[in-house]
Amino acid sequence: MKRSAALACVVLLSLLSANAPAVAPPSKTATIVVRGFENSGASATGTFGTDKVNDTVEQLAASIGLPTSTVNPFAPNQVAYTDYYGNTAPGYYTQADLDDLTSVTNAYGGGIPRYALIVAKYAKHVMQRSGAEQVNLLGLSMGGLVSRWIVEKDVEGLVSSGKVARWIVIEGVVAGNWICSEGGQSLRDFVEDNFDLNPIDLQHMSYSWVTANIHNPRDESSNPLLAQFPIHFWTPADDDLNGKALTFASLKANDGVQLLRDTYLRDLAPAARYLGLRPTRSFIHATHESSKQNLGIRAGVAADLFGRRRVTVTLRDVYVNNDKESSSQEPAEIVFGVEVKSPRAQTLYGITAPVNDRRFMDNSMPVAPLPEDTTVTVGLVFFDDMILPGEDRLRIKTDVREVDYDIVYGINENVFNPEDTLSNIDMEVSTLAPATYHVSTGDWRGVLSVEIVDYPPFDPPARVDDWALH
């Protein structure tokens, strides 16, 4: 593969180790990996829409006991990967397919709509030849925006015909990219000049393009098509890339390439929510580039693919008796950093890294203004995602800080004592039934709630049509 650019959306995560025991996947569901940005990709030559070999995809397939599309293209449960870059159509394209692609390319100049059509036609091709009844769309980086176009625009009728089982996005350009939007012409010129970016990719990752062509507001959706399948977002949150350049430029939390706020849909209208629920959202302490080495996200994505139980752990009420405020400005600004670990992931895969990791230094957890000796309902989500089959508990550990100086949080009270550490909890909560936990430390006490939703079994879709590609 070609060298990846800093902007880009290039990381194909190696999810789980190749020697890990497999977890039985849903029947007859192929996972389509939607790749990220590549240098000069939009001007690349070669064949698009065919099975491609990729080391990371092979590791993913081995992890969950499935063949890749290059090893067994006829397996209903396969992990498939293709290029949407290129200028030559694959052999399975008909004249109608060619006409479709020409029409979309002419209408939008190529870019995201063209890539989405190529991926959707490839997904249909995989299902037709293999007998798979559905696909999981796994969008990585710019692949998050490509896959969003597929599901929001119902490209090739994949959603309306019940063919999408899940939509998972990792470090996605879901709502656009700040550098391409508000970063200023100098930043855009730097990216284009140094990374040989085709202008169409820059244009289509801009806030204005997403707003005009997908949804306004760009970080929400009211599309009822999205209510047909679970949606899961994964957000890297470590900004320590290129000397924290994006933090100093934007003053926003980021992963060195993407602002955190742009990696997920902030809200869905009620008619767009699967089972009436918002999408899950989990965080990892990694940069955009280092996400591929993060073990926690590997276990978490396995849970999104194969788990049926969604667990939400929320810090409801908090009473602070010792806020350690150093600036004498009340109320104290407190950040409840948290890491959540999966004992089941350790058993299955040997993974001890957190499956949700929201740190003070990453600015990924909001500040809670908390006066001393007062009970405040904060509603801070410590975990909200699927769990692995067989998971009976989660481990919760906090890292609580009272903040007096932080440029991203916008707090400027005492630069000489930026933060103080409050006492913490380290405990396990059951995932077998809803529960309430009363926790107490030397500096604060609170109430944790555990809520559970069981998703429907992985049955074939209600509507299964024959694919007529030829």
Q: Give me 405's structure tokens.
A: 């100086």
Q: Give me 433's structure tokens.
A: 């039934």
Whether the predicted pLDDT of 121 surpasses 70: yes
Q: How far, CA to CA in Å, does 265 sit from each of 51, 191, 208, 280, 437?
A: 30, 25, 16, 10, 30
pLDDT tens per residue, range 273-304: 999 999 999 999 999 988 877 889 888 988 99
pLDDT tens per residue, range 221-269: 999 999 999 999 999 999 999 899 999 999 999 999 999 999 999 999 9
Q: Are strands 356-358 and 405-406 parallel, antiparallel or unpaired?
A: unpaired
8-12, 73-77, 101-105, 168-172: the lowest-pLDDT one: 8-12
pLDDT at position 193:
61
The full length of the chain comes to 470
Q: Is 48 helix (H, G, I), strand (E, B) or coil?
A: coil
pLDDT at position 68:
86
- Mean of per-residue pLDDT scores for the chain: 88
Backbone φ, ψ for residue 343 (5° rounding) = -60, -30
pLDDT at position 192:
60
pLDDT tens per residue, range 426-457: 999 999 999 999 999 999 999 999 999 999 98
Closest by Cα among 32, 28, 39, 31 to 2: 39
Query: What are the residues facing 280 on neighbouring strands?
Result: 232
| Percent of the chain residues topping a pLDDT of 70 | 87
b (16+ CB within 10 A) / e for 423-442: ebbeeebebeeeeebebebe
Q: Is 216 helix (H, G, I), strand (E, B) or coil?
A: coil
Whether the predicted pLDDT of 3 surpasses 50: no
Architecture of the domain defined by 312-454 = Sandwich (2.60)
Domain with CATH 3.40.50.1820 in the chain: 29-308
Q: For residues 38 and 4, is the Cβ–Cβ distance under 8 A?
A: yes
Q: Is 96 helix (H, G, I), strand (E, B) or coil?
A: helix
Show the beta-strand stretches assigned E in 250-355: 267-268, 280-284, 309-320, 332-341
Domain with CATH 2.60.40 in the chain: 312-454
Per-residue confidence at 205, pLDDT binned at 50, 70, 90? very high
pLDDT tens per residue, range 8-44: 333 323 333 333 333 445 679 999 999 998 877 888 8
Per-residue confidence at 186, pLDDT binned at 50, 70, 90? low
pLDDT tens per residue, range 323-367: 999 888 889 999 999 999 999 999 988 889 999 999 999 999 999
Q: Give me 182's structure tokens.
A: 């508000």
Per-residue confidence at 57, pLDDT binned at 50, 70, 90? confident
Residue 423: alpha-carbon gap to chain centroid? 31
Say which CATH topology domain 29-308 has.
Rossmann fold (3.40.50)
